[in-house]
Structure 1
Amino acid sequence: MDFGDNHPIRHMAKEPILVYQMDERSDGVALFRLPLPMVQAYQDELANPHRHDHYTCFFLEEGTITTSIDFHPVTINKTSFLLSYPGQIHQVGSGPTCKGWVLGFDAKLIDKSVKDLFEQSLSTVILLTLNEGEQAWLRTMLMLIDGSLHENKTALFHHKLVQTLLNGFIYRVAAIFQLQLYDRIRDYSVRSLEMTRKFRQLLNQQILTCKQPSAYAQQLNVSASHLNDTIKSVTGFSVTYHIQQAILTEAQRLLAYTDLTVQEIATRLGYEDPKYFIRLFGKGKGLSPAKFRKSNT
């Protein structure tokens, strides 16, 4: 969102879907208190679909926000914490009177092991439930980050201080996430979970160029059948299903939020034959790309 020249997030429109980027002049960290100065222009920007090129966290102290992330409805309140990935499409429905914080940060600022934990998640939306102690801890850290961001940027170790506080905050988020994740997946073997997480990470990174289960299996040094059996045992769905869902998610984004033709979308997704893409979309979503676009405009 664009809050003027002095704010650390700016937007660009090279793509039809608006992309909010971290300003190069910032420390790679942007922190805003809610409520924002919600003049009509800002409300309109939040209501329009947009992507971020960075991670974004929502932490509320009062009120509720309803939003949509990649067509998944999400409700955030003071007992929950939302972390969204770079590239996901947001569309805020309501919540302008709530109080809390929005934190954006560049992925390169956080520890690789934490980044891998998030990227290998089996869930497309990371929505955590917080107890009172966790809420208080995160609130304190956000206040420290906020204070540090507003200090003299030329001061010695300013950037290191901000990055250290950010990592402390994200380490705690990752610890909460991992504990809550463990409660859901404790019945699976470590090896099966590790393979599933690595597959998910590869899929997110390579979906536009790699669509064959055997190609992912080769990168993971296992047979295609073994990979498929493992992924299906953990998630309930085959490797092919996950590949198709990743393709369909990006196709839905482009159909709903851009003016690209179906043929242009097929090409962007790596399909030379648009008819094949239309059949694939129809089989996966139960209606043609054209009908999907019409129902979402």
Structure 2
Amino acid sequence: MKTTEKVKTYSPQGFRDRFLENDNSKDYLFKSNSEHFFCLKLEEINQLKFPVPPSKHICHTLLFITSGTHKIKIGFEEYTTQSNEIIVIPAGQIFSIDSINTEIEGFICQFHPNILIGKYGNPEMINDFDFLKIWGSPDLYFPNKESQFIIQLLNRLQVEYTESGVTNLDIIQPYLIALLCEINKNALKINKNGTAATVLTTKFKELIYAHINQQHQVNYYASILNVTPNHLNKSIKFATGKSPTKWIEESILLEAKYLLYQTNFSVSEIAMQVGHYDQSYFSRIFKKSEGVSPVQYRKLIDKS
């Protein structure tokens, strides 16, 4: 899409299809271009159809709540976001939504990472924002003063998008960068006192994301992090309440559920995608966790 092309705004009825870029083909469900952007008020899209099964998007999504509460699963953790909180769904992160509270108010802003590259940005800028990384903290609270700054920036982006679409990146890009910088300022305040265990946990999550399709052994991750398996186990349990083994198992199953929904891969292909070359073993551990086989899970999703 060229920046000179007029882009229509999203009607509430068609929003979910546009949000997911749904062209009735699972393989292209989340297809998007490098200038993809929108910013809308949540009140304008309360006719979205739910649930949304485990899914991924190649764009970053920000949900800022000004009134009411909203529940969303990011990875395998559920978050309840309230007034003056922002929920971040990083590009590539698996998320799911069971339902939406139609009484919530706020904003939803989605953008492709490449939109930060150009006149006012650069490719390295995205690395400054840890909250946009899959292993970052997705739920951030803002005191009243800081939340007003966020609202002002989102209002400006929403007005620009509603009136002009993405035709004027010279306006959208600097306001979007300012928004991310405001969010980052607060995120850094929250994370500056991170313990050694939380720092190690963050690195561990990053490694799982990068290697889950090949490496399932705690010993492997401990060696990469230059700690003993016992130390890694204690640190992860202390920081999260779950063992490294549990994190690995849940990451495998979550990736499998996403692939069952969003692709046309066979069960054997999905098993290989998550590092299991024995389809029958993969199917057994999936059914043990979910109560249904991978094939039955896919059928249940299709019916929904």
What is the TM-score with the length of structure 2 in the denominator? 0.71
Is 1:173 aligned to 2:183, yes or no?
A: yes
User: Offset at 1:103?
Assistant: 0.6
User: Offset at 1:240?
Assistant: 2.2
Distance 1:116 1:84, change over 3 A: closer
Give the corresponding residue for 2:149: 137
User: Offset at 1:95?
Assistant: 3.3
Do the aligned residues in 2 keep the contact of 1:120 with 1:201 (CA within 8 Å)? yes
State which of 115, 118, 128 in structure 2 corresponds to 1:113: 128
Distance 1:72 1:240, change over 3 A: closer
Do the aligned residues in 1 keep the contact of 2:60 with 2:110 (CA within 8 Å)? yes
State which of 229, 248, 253 in structure 2 corresponds to 1:248: 253
Is 1:16 aligned to 2:30, yes or no?
A: no
Is 1:211 aligned to 2:226, yes or no?
A: no
State which of 96, 103, 112 in structure 1 corresponds to 2:109: 103
Is 1:31 aligned to 2:39, yes or no?
A: yes
User: Offset at 1:181?
Assistant: 4.6
Give the corresponding residue for 1:162: 172
Unaligned runs of 5+ in 1: none
Is 1:289 aligned to 2:284, yes or no?
A: no
Compare the two structures and name the one with the higher strand fraction: 1
Is 1:54 aligned to 2:62, yes or no?
A: no
Do the aligned residues in 2 keep the contact of 1:82 with 1:128 (CA within 8 Å)? yes
User: Offset at 1:217?
Assistant: 3.3
Q: Percent identity?
A: 22
In structure 2, distance between residues paired with 1:167 and 1:20:
24
Give the match's secondary structure for 1:56. strand
In structure 2, distance between residues paired with 1:37 and 1:290:
32
Do the aligned residues in 1 keep the contact of 2:218 with 2:229 (CA within 8 Å)? yes
Distance 1:16 1:111, change over 3 A: closer
Do the aligned residues in 1 keep the contact of 2:60 with 2:132 (CA within 8 Å)? no
User: Offset at 1:246?
Assistant: 0.7
In structure 2, distance between residues paired with 1:214 and 1:97:
47
Do the aligned residues in 1 keep the contact of 2:88 with 2:132 (CA within 8 Å)? no
Count residues in correspondence: 276
Distance 1:97 1:229, change over 3 A: closer
In structure 2, distance between residues paired with 1:286 and 1:90:
16
Distance 1:137 1:22, change over 3 A: farther
Unaligned runs of 5+ in 2: 1-5, 11-17, 117-124
Give the match's secondary structure for 1:30. strand
What is the TM-score with the length of structure 1 in the denominator? 0.72
Query: 1:115 is matched by which residue type in structure 2?
Result: D
Distance 1:254 1:117, change over 3 A: closer
Give the corresponding residue for 2:122: none
Give the match's secondary structure for 1:81. strand
Relative to structure 2, which stretch is displaced further, 261-270 or 49-58?
261-270
Do the aligned residues in 1 keep the contact of 2:37 with 2:166 (CA within 8 Å)? no
Q: CA RMSD in A?
A: 3.8
Is 1:80 aligned to 2:92, yes or no?
A: no
Query: 2:291 is matched by which residue type in structure 1?
Result: L
Is 1:266 aligned to 2:271, yes or no?
A: yes
Is 1:90 aligned to 2:96, yes or no?
A: yes
Do the aligned residues in 2 keep the contact of 1:62 with 1:98 (CA within 8 Å)? yes
Do the aligned residues in 2 keep the contact of 1:19 with 1:53 (CA within 8 Å)? no
Is 1:6 aligned to 2:8, yes or no?
A: yes
> Which fold has the larger relative contact order, with Cα–Cα distance below 8 Å and residues 6 or more apart in sequence?
2
User: Offset at 1:56?
Assistant: 0.8
Distance 1:195 1:116, change over 3 A: farther
